[in-house]
Amino acid sequence: MNVDGKHYTTIWVDETDDKIIQIIDQTRLPHSFEIVNLTTVNEAAAAIKEMWIRGAGLIGATAGYGMYLAALEAPENEFDDFLQLAAREFIDTRPTAKNLEWAVKRQLKAILSVQGTSEKITTAFTTAKSIAVEDAEFCRRIGEHGIHLISEISKRKKGAPVNILTHCNAGWLAFVDYGSATSPIYAAYNAGIPVHVWVDETRPRNQGASLTAWELGKHGVPHDIIVDNAGGHLMQHGMVDIAFVGADRVTTGGDAANKIGTYLKALAAVDNGVPFYVAFPSSTIDWEIKDGIKEIPIEERSEDEVRFMSGKTPEGPQTVLICPEESRARNWGFDVTPSRLITGLITERGICRASEEGLRSLYSEGYSEGTST
Ligand code: MRU
C-alpha cells in the first residue's frame, strides 16, 4: 500500500543483499516511519515477540523469513536439528495467531524434503517468498469478494458514505499487503465508493489509533478514531452500516479469535442488526479444532501494557503510568467470537456462513489435508 506516494509491503528482502530481511518497525508508528534489518533467527523472533511487527499474516510471513535466516545460520553438521529448534522458538513467540505455526510448519516440511545445505537454503528462501506473496494475494482477493458487501449498502444508501466499524489493526500492516478487514474497504475506496471508517482505538496497545488510523490516512480513506466502548452507542443510532474485523485463528466451526474486545462488538452488532463480518486468509484456519472458546490458546501479555501508556509529547516520545502505583493489571490479548454472532466469513475463496458447512463449501480439501494451498 502507499506511504506518502511510495508503495510498501510490510516485509521484504533487501535489494542489495538477500541475507537481509527488512520490516517496518510498527512500535514507532504513527509518529516515526523506521525500517529495521533482520539478519538472525534471534532478531526475527524478537521482531515477533516484541511486536515490532504484529498481526496474524505478518507474524506468519516473518516466521517464514525467520526460518530462511535459520537455514543461513545453521551449522552444516547439525542443520536439521538447528532448524527444528528455530521452528520451536518461533512457534513459542506468540500463541494465538495460527498463521505463525502454519508458516513454520510449511517451511520445515519444504526444507526437510530436500537434500544438501545449499538446496535447503534455496528452498527456505523460495518458500518464505511464496508465503509472503501468497499472503498479499489472498488479502487482495478478500477485497475482491468483500467489496460487494459495501457496494450493496452504498446502492441502498443512494451513494451516501458507507460507515464501517473495525477493531484493532487488520490492515495491510497486519499482513504483507492490503490487509484482511481493510481490503474490502480499500477496494471500495479505490473504486470510488464513498466510505467512512470508525476506528476502535483498541486498548491497551492502541493498534487502531496508531496503526489503522495511520494506514487509512496514508491512503486517503476518511475515518474517525473512537474509544473502544463507543461502538455499541454508534450502532444504536444507525451510525454503523457494517463491521469488518480480522482474525488470528478461526476454528472449523467458524468461531474466530481476534483482538480483545471483538466479542463485545459482535454482541452489539447482533443486538442492533448490524452485519458483522470476519475476514481472513485460509492460513488463519485451524483445521484441528472446532470449539474456539475451549480450544483457542489466548495470549496473556504483560500487565505494563495496561498500566502504562505511551505517546508523543513536545519533548519527544513518553510513557506514563495511568493507574495507582500499587494496582496490578491483567492483560488478555484476544477473545473468541462464537460463530452464531458472525454474519459471514470473507476469505480468499469467497464469502461463506460462519459454520462447518460454510467453510467446507469453500475448503473441502482443508478438512482432510489441513492445508490452505
Ligand atoms: O496483537 P496483535 O496486534 O498481533 O493482534 C492482531 C491483530 O491485529 C488483530 O487481532 C487483528 O484484528 C487480526 S488480523 C491479523
- How many angstroms is it from 205 CA to the middle of ligand 1? 11
**Contact present, 27 and 52 (Cβ < 8 Å):** yes
Q: What is the pLDDT of residues 259-299, one digit of tens each?
A: 999 999 999 999 999 999 999 999 999 999 999 999 999 99
What's the mean per-residue pLDDT of the chain? 96
Give the alpha-carbon dihedral of 42, 45, 49, 50, to 10 degrees.
Answer: 50
Residue 367 is predicted with a pLDDT of 55
CA distance 228 to 186: 23
Evaluate: CB of 333 within 6 angstroms of ligand 1. Answer: yes
- How many angstroms is it from 54 CA to the middle of ligand 1? 7
Residue 4 is predicted with a pLDDT of 85
CA distance 278 to 195: 18
CA distance 28 to 178: 20
From 54, 299, 334, mutation site for ligand 1 pocket: most ligand atoms within 8 A of C-beta: 54
Residue 38 is predicted with a pLDDT of 98
> What is each CA distance from 321 to 76, 201, 326, in whole angstroms?
49, 18, 11
The three grid cell numbers given for residue 125, joined into one nine-digit string:
528462501
CA distance 45 to 92: 9
Evaluate: CB of 258 within 6 angstroms of ligand 1. Answer: yes
The three grid cell numbers given for residue 178, joined into one nine-digit string:
492490503
From 259, 280, 342, mutation site for ligand 1 pocket: most ligand atoms within 8 A of C-beta: 259
Nearest to 230 by CA among 192, 259, 250, 202: 202
CA distance 310 to 178: 27
| Residue 248 annotated in active site | yes
DSSP string, 285-322: EETT-S-HHHHS---B--THHHHEEEEEETTEEEEEE-
352 forms bridges with which residues in the sheet? 345
Q: Given the CA of residue 245, which atom of ligand 1 is nearest to it?
A: 12
Evaluate: CB of 179 within 6 angstroms of ligand 1. Answer: no
**Contact present, 120 and 114 (Cβ < 8 Å):** yes
Give the alpha-carbon dihedral of 230, 234, 235, 240, to 10 degrees.
Answer: -110
Evaluate: CB of 249 within 6 angstroms of ligand 1. Answer: no
Evaluate: CB of 281 within 6 angstroms of ligand 1. Answer: no
**Contact present, 311 and 318 (Cβ < 8 Å):** yes
- Rounded to a whole number of angstroms, the CA Rg of the chain reads 20
The three grid cell numbers given for residue 210, joined into one nine-digit string:
496508531
Beta carbons within 8 Å of 21's beta carbon, 6+ residues apart = 11, 12, 13, 14, 37, 38, 39, 44, 62, 65, 68, 69
Residue 370 is predicted with a pLDDT of 41
- How many angstroms is it from 172 CA to the middle of ligand 1? 11
Low-confidence ranges of the chain (pLDDT < 70): 366-373
3-state helix, strand, coil in the chain (%, to 5): 45, 20, 35
Evaluate: CB of 100 within 6 angstroms of ligand 1. Answer: no
Beta carbons within 8 Å of 114's beta carbon, 6+ residues apart = 120, 123
Nearest to 53 by CA among 113, 111, 94: 94
Nearest to 285 by CA among 172, 179, 362: 362
Q: Residue 85, class by beta-carbon neighbours within 10 Å (0-12 exposed, 13-18 middle, 19+ buried)?
A: middle
